[in-house]
């Protein structure tokens, strides 16, 4: 995936590993190391680690400026206060006494330097776009890639003192405080840089990242095998973990995680494989759990492809898909049908915003499909591209079976080795057909589903969708005075998506996770992250 895409794709590119590096044998949580299954991260630099695997590790090594309460409101965590009189100029005051794992104090410069490096276009960090609302970003990232940047620093970042800095945005943005909970806004110590002035991060840094979180690296990143952490005893946060460390075991195959879980060689599988959902309750009992999450699964249309340019074709395909049947028979209700463009957990969600176009109606679908030119209009067949490393083949096959039966057109899955490779092809406008996508929010705001995915220059708009009215409404929501006012604009923008259908909402995916007999108090949050402050050794 390119640097503007990884920010929220739920990849399950998971790995094979033997039975090494599971947690310790002691049942005392203070000496207990928890093992969690992940895939090989792409990066461990905060402003570039925007996929789920890297974010899992960084959530142990760093503490964000804010966390979220039960109403999804941001509350200060590493920050003492974050205030703004107008949603454009923000003053961030840090809590005193925080240190990085090497003992270096956390200061305003720790954030300013990290954000400048993340925003510096030539660094090509995957989370670069998170800084695009800060003044000076455009000069560091000219839209024409052939043009050199005219600045090296964000003019909107101003140090006030060692614990205070000011952020000036190009436009008011109502969700900015919420946004600061994301990994791209983590600080970096001085030792992360070889040249602060030129935004150069030492490439060796991500092999053993130094953060200011509850755990620190133990050794270095053992690629495709293991990332070990240990409790940071000088952690300044009010809450303290009950465990001695976390071992992130890296897998390539989802079922291998599950087998290690059954053998108590892995403590937590954050996302159970489809093929094991049916037996998980019998295998794990109450150690198989579901909890709310922000993940949605969708099918995208490359609207730049003439075969999908006609909205009638898109609507017909949507009505030919029985979302309820696939959720029930393929996923055994571990995923739920979705007919809106945001997750049900997000403030502003409304059920069935897609309306009639997401209602299963094979007769109407076939009539509309033929009216738009039928099989000939789509080039004789429909293809659906998907990444084979994510366990998607069963539901892709089921979807194709429905399209074939209900529209009378051939439908085939188009397997791609990796999600990144598939999206690179789409970015280059190479023909792959429709393609599957998944999204987990970066911060709990309705806009985080709309802006990146559907605005004309959205960081994750790979399908060429552009609607000036949609862009205008999202921008109006961003500039609103309150989140409640913003929601009214975002909902009107979502109504436009329901009309244009550049993407088909299919399913909402709760957390479906399992854990071993060795641990208890296992909870996953809306980001699909294990709560490392609650998990502990079981008394056995």
Are 110 and 46 contacting, i.e. CB atoms less than 8 angstroms apart?
no
pLDDT of residue 15: 31
Same domain as 231, residue 169: no
Give the residue among 200, 208, 260 at the shortest CA–CA distance from 229.
208
CB 142 within 8 A of CB 128: no
Same domain? For 297 and 442 the reply is: yes
Which tokens sit at 532?
A: 């490392």
Whether 188 and 87 map to the same domain: the answer is yes
- Domain assignment present for 394: yes
∠ CA 431-322-503, nearest 5°, is: 40
**Residue 269 β-bridge partners:** 514
Both 431 and 472 in a single domain? yes
Q: Judge whether 540 lies within some domain.
A: yes
Q: Which two tokens stand for residue 154?
A: 């964000």
The pair of structure tokens assigned to 222 is 């053992």
| Tokens, residue 396 | 């892709």
Residue ending a domain, among 155, 185, 203, is 203
Q: Which of 203, 237, 257 is the last residue of a domain?
A: 203
- Note whether 423 and 305 are same-domain residues: yes
Terminal Cα-to-Cα distance of the chain (whole angstroms) = 44
> Does residue 301 sit in the same domain as residue 446?
yes
**Any idea what the CATH number is for the domain that residue 136 is in?**
3.90.76.10
Residues 184, 333: one domain?
no
Asked if residue 30 belongs to a domain, the reply is yes
Reported residue count of the chain is: 540
331 and 447 share one domain = yes
335 and 261 in a single domain? The answer is: no
Return the CATH number at 381.
3.10.105.10
Tell me, yes or no, whether 412 lies in a domain: yes
CB 46: neighbour CB atoms within 10 A?
30
Among 203, 227, 258, residue at a domain's last position: 203
Q: Are 495 and 363 members of one domain?
A: yes
What is the C-alpha to C-alpha distance for residues 419 and 387, in angstroms, rounded to an integer? 5
In a domain, 208, yes or no: no
Q: What is the pLDDT of residue 28?
A: 63
Q: Is residue 110 part of a domain?
A: yes
CA dihedral 135, 139, 141, 143 (to 10 degrees): 110
CATH of the domain at 524: 3.40.190.10
Q: What is the pLDDT of residue 23?
A: 39
Tell whether 171 and 195 lie within a shared domain: yes
Query: Looking at the domain assignment, is residue 282 inside a domain?
Result: no
Judge whether 287 lies within some domain.
no
For the chain, 540 residues long, give each residue's pLDDT as a single digit of tens: 332 333 333 333 323 333 333 333 345 667 899 999 998 888 999 999 888 889 999 999 999 999 999 888 999 999 999 999 999 999 999 999 999 999 999 999 999 999 999 999 999 998 999 999 999 999 999 988 789 999 999 999 999 999 999 999 999 999 999 999 999 999 999 999 999 999 999 999 999 999 999 999 999 999 999 999 999 999 999 999 999 999 999 998 778 999 999 999 999 999 998 889 889 999 999 999 999 999 999 999 999 899 999 999 999 999 999 999 999 999 999 999 999 999 999 999 999 999 999 999 999 999 999 999 999 999 999 999 998 877 789 999 999 999 999 999 999 999 988 777 787 788 788 888 999 998 989 999 999 999 999 999 887 888 889 999 999 999 999 999 999 999 999 999 999 999 999 999 999 999 999 999 999 999 999 999 999 999 999 986
235 and 191 in a common domain: no
Give the domain range for residue 523.
1-61+213-267+516-540
* Beta carbons within 10 angstroms of residue 282's beta carbon: 8
Number of domains composing the chain:
3
pLDDT of residue 518: 97
């Amino acid at each position: 995936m390119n640097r503007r895409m990884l920010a929220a794709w739920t990849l399950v590119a998971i790995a094979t590993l033997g039975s090494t590096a599971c947690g310790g044998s002691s049942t005392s949580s203070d000496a207990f190391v928890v093992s969690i299954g992940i895939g090989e991260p792409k990066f461990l630099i905060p402003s570039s680690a925007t996929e789920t695997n890297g974010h899992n590790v960084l959530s142990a090594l760093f503490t964000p400026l804010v966390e979220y309460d039960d109403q999804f409101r941001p509350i200060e965590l590493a920050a003492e206060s974050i205030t703004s009189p107008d949603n454009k100029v923000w003053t961030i005051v840090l809590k005193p006494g925080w240190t990085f794992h090497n003992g270096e104090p956390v200061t305003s410069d720790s954030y300013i330097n990290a954000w400048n490096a993340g925003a510096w276009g030539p660094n090509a960090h995957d989370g670069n776009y998170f800084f695009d609302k800060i003044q000076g970003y455009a000069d560091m990232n000219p839209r024409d890639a052939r043009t050199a940047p005219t600045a090296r620093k964000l003019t909107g970042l101003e140090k006030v003192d060692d614990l205070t800095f000011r952020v000036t945005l190009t436009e008011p943005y109502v969700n900015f405080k919420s946004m600061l909970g994301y990994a791209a806004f983590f600080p970096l110590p001085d030792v992360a840089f070889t040249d602060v002035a030129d935004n150069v991060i030492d490439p060796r840094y991500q092999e053993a990242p130094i953060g200011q979180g509850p755990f620190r690296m133990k050794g270095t990143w053992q690629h495709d095998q293991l990332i070990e952490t240990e409790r940071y005893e000088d952690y300044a946060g009010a809450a303290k973990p009950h465990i001695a460390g976390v071992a992130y075991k890296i897998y390539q195959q989802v079922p291998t995680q599950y087998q290690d879980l059954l053998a108590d060689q892995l403590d937590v599988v954050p996302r159970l494989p489809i093929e094991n959902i049916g037996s998980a309750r019998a295998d794990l009992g109450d150690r198989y759990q579901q909890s709310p999450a922000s993940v949605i699964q969708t099918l995208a249309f490359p609207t730049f492809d003439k075969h999908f340019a006609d909205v009638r074709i898109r609507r017909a395909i949507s009505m030919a898909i029985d979302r309820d049947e696939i959720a029930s028979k393929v996923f055994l209700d571990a995923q739920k049908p979705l007919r809106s463009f945001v997750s049900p957990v997000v403030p502003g969600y409304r059920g069935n915003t897609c309306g009639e176009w997401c209602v299963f109606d094979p007769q109407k679908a076939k009539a509309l499909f033929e009216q738009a030119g039928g099989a000939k209009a789509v080039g004789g067949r429909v293809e659906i591209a998907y990444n084979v490393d994510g366990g998607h083949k069963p539901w892709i096959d089921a979807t194709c079976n429905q399209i074939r039966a209900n529209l009378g057109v051939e439908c085939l899955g188009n397997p791609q080795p990796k999600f990144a490779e598939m999206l690179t092809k789409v970015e280059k406008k190479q023909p792959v057909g429709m393609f599957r996508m998944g999204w987990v929010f970066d911060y709990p705001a309705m806009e985080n589903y709309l802006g990146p995915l559907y605005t004309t220059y959205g960081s994750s708009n790979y399908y060429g969708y552009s609607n000036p009215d949609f862009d205008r409404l999202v921008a109006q929501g961003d500039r609103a005075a309150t989140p409640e006012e913003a929601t009214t604009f975002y909902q009107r923008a979502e109504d436009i998506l329901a009309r244009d259908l550049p993407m088909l909402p299919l399913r909402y995916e709760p957390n479906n996770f399992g854990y071993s007999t060795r641990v208890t108090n296992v909870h996953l949050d809306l980001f699909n992250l294990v709560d490392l402050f609650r998990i502990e050794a079981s008394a056995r």
